């Protein structure tokens, strides 16, 4: 689909730009409208599985809710105290309520923007593109790619350490406290084995001629095409529309 | 970067991968704490998110280790697919800069307990300034924001500084660090 074929670096930069723009908005209407826009774009152009999407989104709903009530309770003293709203039998200052809503909707909107990126981006392509478009030094890029390959091995490693401990008579952890003790016992061997593995990988790469030189060639080439700019444009369109609607409704508030 | 051996970069990346996973594992815990205590919940355990800076800098002892390791850890978190997204890389850079500043102040020569704790506090300071703008702390009561800041600095010094040092020293004892600065130091101390 359209989002999947986008240049990963450009996609990441666009997302970052809008996260920064959102940080300057302190009214609830703009993030609400832009949230709807972001989610719609994700599903229209991204072909994202909605079940998986929902699963990832739920933690943020909880987090946003926590943000909502704490911001109401710990809010700065409002400038206009008499202007209040009654909700569920409690009276809140209107200003605090609106700011709290704005902050929690912002959390959700940032989450939606990030999910858009995560669900439509191939990670290896992202690193390759960072190297080719954003001048990430190859030494770091390939070190990260190598490190990333260790991830699935880590689970096996934990299993091995666990078994090794059991053979030597460490009991199976049942309570949370015992589990915590176990993790403490695993941490050093786990780190030690990844350091050893990293050392060996580095030597193998160097012995096969990896120098980390900047003017290297790539098997998979990435570039920014003219059509890639459609994405930032669409997002900008949605954001401006959200800001304008919010302004028309008299809610728009920048930096409180 | 020129005086770095490739081995050191890959080891730093490997550490960043391990702690990237640890960082992600602590996110839901932070979320629960936030649910109970409000935004200050994150600050209680915020130090854990600076720990790789301290460990990498302490082990490798070269300029840039704190900054790069934290940046890579953030990148790894994005790779695994956390939902803060690419913006997290910037957060990692900001935190790494704070720790790096503390090491830079000693010209990357001193790696004593106090400097490691100062690096944890440094990360706390920069990450707080960043969070103040990005997460809208400006909307909270000044007293509460001050409390958050103090708790985060303490967390940075204790969790990142002290725990980071304890883990690195534990690693040095195993001998895997024999070709790195910390391991060499350890051997020199115990040869006599």
pLDDT digits (tens, 9 = 90+) for A146-188: 888 888 888 888 889 888 888 988 777 778 888 888 788 888 9
Per-residue pLDDT, A37? 95
Average pLDDT over residues A119-148: 89
Across the interface, of B83, B86, B136, the residue whose CB is closest to A16 is B86
Please judge whether B10 and A146 are an interchain contact, meaning their C-beta atoms are less than 8 angstroms apart: yes
Query: Could you list the pLDDT tens digit for every one of the 192 residues in chain B?
Result: 678 888 999 999 999 988 988 888 888 788 778 777 777 888 889 999 999 999 999 999 999 999 999 998 988 887 776 656 677 888 899 999 999 999 999 988 899 999 999 999 999 999 999 988 877 777 778 888 899 999 999 999 999 999 999 999 999 998 899 889 998 888 888 876
Mean pLDDT of A215-241: 92
Name which of A57, A199, A201, A213 to mutate to probe chain B: the one with the most chain B Cβ atoms within 10 A of its Cβ. A199
Of A19, A60, A151, the CB nearest to B83: A60
pLDDT of residue A33: 94
Beta-carbon neighbour count of residue A158 at 10 Å?
Answer: 16
> Closest approach of chain B CAs to the CA of A254, in angstroms?
11
- Neighbouring CB atoms inside 10 A of B173's CB total 14
- The length of chain B is 192
Taking only the tens place, the pLDDT of each residue in A21-37 is: 988 888 889 999 999 99
Categorize the per-residue pLDDT at A88 as very low, low, confident or very high, splitting at 50, 70 and 90: low
Enumerate the residues of chain B whose CB falls inside 8 A of the CB of residue A76: 138-142
pLDDT grade for A255, boundaries at 50, 70 and 90: low
For residue B144, the surrounding DSSP H or E stretch is helix B142-155
Nearest CA in chain A to B36: A66
Interface residue of B86, B89, B141 to substitute, partner A, most A CBs within 10 Å: B86
Q: What's the whole-number average pLDDT of chain A?
A: 85
Cβ contacts (< 8 Å) between A27 and chain B: which residues? none
Give the best residue of A64, A144, A155, A176 to mutate against chain B (max B CB count within 10 A).
A144
Give chain A positions within 8 Å (CB) of B24.
none
Beta-carbon pairs below 8 A across chains A and B? 188
Picking from A139, A144, A150, the nearest residue to B6 by CB comes out as: A139
Question: What percentage of chain A carries pLDDT values higher than 90?
Answer: 30
Whether chain A has a CB inside 8 Å of the CB on B109: the answer is no
User: Closest-CA residue in chain B for A184?
Assistant: B167
Q: Which residues of B touch A18 (CB under 8 A)?
A: none
Comparing CB atoms, the residue among A23, A123, A151 nearest residue B17 is A151
Interface probe for B, chosen from A38, A125, A198, A204 (most Cβ of B below 10 Å), is A198
Per-residue HEC secondary structure of chain A comes to: CHHHHCCHHHHHHHHHHHHHHHCCECCCHHHHHHHHHHHHHHHHHHCCCHHHHHHHHHHHHHHHHHHHHHHHHCECCCCCCCCEEEECCEEEEHHHHHHHHHHHHHHHHHHHHHHHHHHHCCHHHHHHHHHHHCCCCHHHHHHHHHHHHHHHHHHHHHHHHHHHHHHCCCCCCCCHHHHHHHHHHHHHHHHHHHHHHHHHHHHHHHHCCCCCCCCCCCCCCCCCCHHHHHHHHHHHHHHHHHHHHHHHCCCCCECC
CB contact under 8 A, B21 and A56: no
**CA-based nearest distance A151→chain B, Å:** 7
Number of H helices, E strands in chain B: 9, 0
Where does the pLDDT of residue A90 fall: very low under 50, low under 70, confident under 90, or very high at 90 and above?
A: low
* Confidence bin at A231 (pLDDT 50/70/90): very high
- Residue numbers in B near A73 (CB within 8 A): 38
Residue reference for tokens 């007293």: B143
* Contact residues on chain A for B85, CB-CB shorter than 8 A: 15, 19, 110-111, 113-115, 117-118
Which 147-186 residues of chain B touch chain A by CB within 8 A?
Answer: 167, 170-171, 174, 176-177, 179
């Amino acid at each position: 689909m359209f989002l999947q074929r986008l240049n990963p670096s450009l996609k990441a930069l666009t997302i970052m730009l809008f996260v920064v723009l959102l940080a300057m908005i302190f009214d609830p209407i703009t993030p609400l409208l832009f949230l709807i826009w972001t989610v719609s774009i994700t599903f229209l152009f991204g072909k994202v599985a909605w079940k998986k999407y929902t699963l990832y989104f739920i933690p943020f709903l909880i987090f946003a809710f926590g943000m909502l009530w704490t911001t109401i309770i710990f809010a700065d003293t409002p400038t206009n105290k008499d202007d209040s709203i009654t909700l569920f039998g409690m009276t809140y200052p209107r200003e605090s309520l609106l700011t709290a809503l704005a902050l929690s909707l912002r959390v959700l909107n940032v989450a939606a923007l990030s999910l858009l990126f995560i669900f439509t981006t191939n990670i290896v392509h992202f690193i390759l593109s960072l190297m080719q478009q954003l001048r990430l030094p190859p030494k770091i890029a390939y070190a990260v790619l190598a490190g990333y390959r260790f991830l699935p091995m880590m689970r096996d490693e934990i299993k091995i350490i666990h078994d090794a401990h059991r053979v030597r008579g460490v009991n199976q952890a049942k309570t949370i406290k015992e589990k915590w003790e176990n993790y403490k016992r695993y941490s050093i061997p786990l780190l030690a084995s990844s350091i050893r593995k990293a050392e060996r990988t580095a030597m193998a790469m160097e012995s096969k001629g990896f120098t980390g030189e900047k003017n290297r060639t790539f098997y998979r080439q990435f570039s920014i095409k003219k059509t890639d700019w459609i994405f930032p444009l669409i997002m900008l369109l949605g954001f401006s529309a959200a800001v304008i609607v919010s302004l028309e409704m008299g809610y728009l508030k920048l930096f409180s | 970067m020129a005086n770095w051996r490739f081995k050191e970069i890959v080891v730093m990346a490997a550490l960043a991968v391990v702690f990237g996973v640890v960082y992600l594992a602590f996110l839901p815990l932070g979320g629960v704490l936030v649910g109970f205590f409000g935004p200050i919940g994150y600050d209680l355990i915020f130090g854990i998110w600076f720990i790789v800076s301290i460990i990498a800098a302490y082990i490798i002892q070269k300029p840039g280790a704190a900054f790069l390791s934290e940046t890579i850890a953030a990148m790894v978190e994005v790779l695994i697919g956390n939902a803060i997204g690419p913006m997290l890389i910037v957060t990692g850079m900001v935190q790494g800069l704070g720790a790096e500043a503390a090491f830079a102040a000693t010209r990357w020569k001193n790696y004593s307990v106090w400097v490691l704790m100062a690096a944890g506090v440094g990360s706390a300071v920069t990450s707080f300034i960043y969070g103040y703008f990005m997460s809208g702390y400006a909307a909270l009561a000044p007293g509460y924001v001050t409390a958050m800041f103090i708790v985060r600095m303490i967390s940075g010094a204790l969790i990142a500084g002290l725990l980071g040092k304890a883990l690195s020293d534990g690693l040095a004892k195993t001998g895997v660090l024999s070709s790195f600065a910390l391991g060499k130091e350890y051997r020199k101390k115990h040869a006599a």
